[in-house]
Amino acid sequence: MDIWYTLAKGIVGCYTALFMKIHVHGAENIPPGQKIIVGNHPNASDGFALPFIFKEKLIFTIQADTFQVPCFGRLLTRAGQIPVKIGSGMEMLQTARRCLERGLSLVIFPEGRLNFGGNLKRGSLGAAILAEQTGAPVIPIGFYTPPKFIRMIRNHMLNRETLGSWQMGGSIYVNIGQPMHLPQKSREQLKCCMLRDFTDQVMNTIAHLSDEIKPGAA
């Protein structure tokens, strides 16, 4: 574990210790080795739970604006995290692929933005493309935090207003599903429609995992 990732994890750990009690379901589904971790994204703080569930170093794909935050942005860069820039999707995927080929595990939120606890948005194809390129399993995760523990926070970043939902106390529930594998097909057979079908299956699984841990679920 490198020092910069350990430092970043420590900072995130201060937040989780103050504001989040993590409950994990399905930890037995976590396989060893490289993996692509994907989940729903209701709140800006959801991903903070993952470094304390997965023992290995995690590489997150993170909105590029976050890397402009003084000090913290430089720390993310040194910790090996990947910025996601509009119009630079292929560059991001190439960087992510190299991380997976080195045996690291990757975290992607396929919706690309917060859903604020509503219905899941359509997932991007990035995780499916990386699964096809590397053979890494996709690990679906459902997050749920009771709305009473969520606070909406407006901020200004790079001269524009942002709105985020952040957990400020209480429990976060994390439901980990079984690994999913892209069907083995030749490159000629592996058309975009298959990547889309697999992505939709993953998103449906994530929605189901999230629903399972909501109050009143059977």
Q: In angstroms, what CA-CA distances link 39 with 13, 149, 174, 185?
A: 20, 20, 10, 25
Q: Which helix (H) or strand (E) holds 174?
A: strand 171-176
217 domain-assigned: no
The span from the CA of 173 to the CA of 152, in Å, is: 19
For 96, other C-beta atoms within 10 Å of its C-beta total 25
Q: What is the CATH number of the domain that holds 66?
A: 3.40.1130.10
pLDDT lower than 50: segments of the chain? none
How far apart, in whole angstroms, are the C-alpha atoms of residue 80 and residue 78?
A: 5
Residue 218 belongs to some domain of the structure:
no
Q: Residue 70 has what pLDDT?
A: 79
Task: Provide the domain limits for residue 126.
Answer: 3-212
The whole-number pLDDT of residue 29 equals 98
Contact in structure between 118 and 207 (CB atoms under 8 Å): no
* pLDDT at position 200: 96
| Per-residue pLDDT at 162 | 72
* Count of domains for the chain: 1
* C-alpha dihedral (67, 40, 60, 180), degrees to nearest 10: -160
pLDDT of 34: 96
The reply to whether 101 falls in a domain is yes
pLDDT (0 to 100) of residue 65: 84
